Each structure stands twice: as structure tokens, then as C-alpha cells.
Amino acid sequence: MATVLNVPSTEDFTAYTGLVSKQGDHLGPMVAWTSKECSDVEGLQGLLTPAKSIVPEIANTFNGKLKKCQTGMGLVKDKVTTVDKELRSEDDKNAAAIGKLFGTSAGSAVDISSIPGALLLGNFTDEAVDKRPPTSLIRYRRAWWEA
């Protein structure tokens, strides 16, 4: 079964990697904030004194998660860029292979599906083959031999 793959333009890939990069950049200040302000227990007194032992642990947990997210955003950006390059490379290879088969005129070939009535000519559906000859042809052959 054929699968249709509509590949976005390079501009779309570039815009997406820019967005992912900017979002990853937003995580930097959050990482710094969790390692400093969130883990600061100075001033916790009275009823909050017992929290002095767990606040840094909680802040450290969030700090680790945010660092992981920041790293992940960079990896996503790199993967999107790699996919774009690979798709363009494959497209170039296919265009070169078609050019070898049909020469330089292949670029001006008519899209057969755009011709009115093209669907009546056939399609790319795999259908079972009927191995029996048509009955009208059999009758014609018999009539020819008997005459």
C-alpha cells in the first residue's frame, strides 16, 4: 500500500527549529532560578524551620527536570534539522535518477492526473487478474474455425 508523504518546505523546518530554539532559551533562566532562588532557605524560621531540609531537595529535583527539558529542546532542534537535510538530499537523489531516465525534459512532463477524464484511463489500484478469456472472444474464435 502506497503512503503519501507531504513534506513541509525547508522554510517551515527552519521556522520550527527557530521556535524550538527560542523555547529552549526560555528554560535557561528557569534553571538558574531553581538553583538559586528556589533553593534559598535563608529566612525560614519558626514553623518553617523543618522545611529547610526538604526545600533544596525539591528545588534540585525541579532544576534537574528543567535541565533535561532544555537539553531535549536542543536535541529536537537538531533532529528536525537532520530530517530536513535528509529529505532534501533524498529528493535531490530522486530528481537526479528521474533525470537520468527521462533526460532534462522530465521537468516539463504533463501531470497525467490533471488531464480531464484521466481517471477513466486507469489507476494505480492493484486488482486481481481474471485468467478466463471473455466469452464473446471464445464465441468469435469458434465461429471463425467452424466457418
Residue predicted with more confidence, 144 or 7: 7
Q: What span, in angstroms and rounded, lies between the C-alpha atoms of 128 and 76?
A: 45
Q: Calculate what percentage of the chain has a pLDDT beyond 90.
A: 24
Cell 533562566 -> residue: 29
Cell 503512503 -> residue: 3
Secondary structure letter of residue 109 according to DSSP = -
Over 60: is that where the pLDDT of 60 sits?
A: yes
Average pLDDT over residues 65-88: 93
18 or 120: which carries more pLDDT confidence? 18
pLDDT score for 82: 94
Element (H, E) at 29: helix 10-35
Q: Where are the domains of the chain?
A: 9-104
Give residue-wise pLDDT tens across range 22-44.
888 888 989 999 888 888 888 88
Residue with the bigger pLDDT between 69 and 143: it is: 69
